[in-house]
């Protein structure tokens, strides 16, 4: 495989991982509005079910493509998350059609979006950067070995910090 083919191959998968990462962030934020019974143990936002997958994808991107690629993905996801929330807020402000009967439900759901987005933006951004920093630093320290342990540790620490920040 030539260098050009290898570069294209790597870029293609980086792009796919980034798209899935952004998709999971959107799904997590939208699903967080629904409270579900989690096996009779707790009542949680449904987004909590998908959110840990963001850390898995961030760990993979950081491990394979490096810290700067991970930061790029985090910034892209932040940009699209912010854009989506702002556009949905502007859509809410548009005058409704007279015959539209779901306006109350629509507004109730999507008026939560800016609040969730604000908490999510801060906690997500810091949590993901902490995660990428930890896994990248540990990669150097352990000379690329023990990925599973590094991923679990970085995810545990950063998701704990992110949960605290989101709850504030």
* Tokens matching residue 8: 């294209």
| Cα separation, 22 vs 30, whole angstroms | 12
- Report pTM: 0.76
3-state secondary structure at position 145? coil
- Residue-averaged pLDDT of the chain: 82
Mean pLDDT confidence for 47-74: 88
Instruction: Indicate if the alpha-carbon torsion angle 122, 87, 51, 140 is positive or negative.
Output: negative
Look at 38 and 112; give whichever has higher pLDDT.
Answer: 38
| Cα separation, 98 vs 78, whole angstroms | 35
């Amino acid at each position: 495989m030539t260098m050009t083919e290898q570069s294209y191959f790597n870029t293609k998968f980086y792009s796919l991982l980034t798209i899935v990462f952004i998709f999971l962030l959107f799904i997590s934020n939208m699903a967080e509005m629904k409270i579900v019974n989690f096996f009779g143990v707790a009542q949680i936002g449904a987004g909590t079910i998908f959110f840990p997958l963001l850390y898995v994808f961030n760990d993979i991107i950081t491990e394979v493509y490096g810290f700067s690629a991970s930061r790029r993905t985090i910034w892209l996801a932040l940009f699209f998350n912010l854009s989506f929330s702002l556009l949905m807020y502007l859509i809410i402000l548009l005058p409704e059609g007279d015959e539209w009967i779901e306006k109350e439900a629509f507004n109730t759901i999507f008026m939560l979006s800016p609040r969730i987005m604000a908490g999510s933006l801060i906690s997500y951004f810091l949590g993901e950067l902490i995660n990428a920093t930890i896994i990248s630093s540990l990669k150097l320290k352990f000379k690329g070995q023990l990925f599973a342990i590094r991923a679990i540790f970085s995810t545990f620490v950063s998701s704990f910090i992110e949960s605290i920040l989101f709850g504030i």
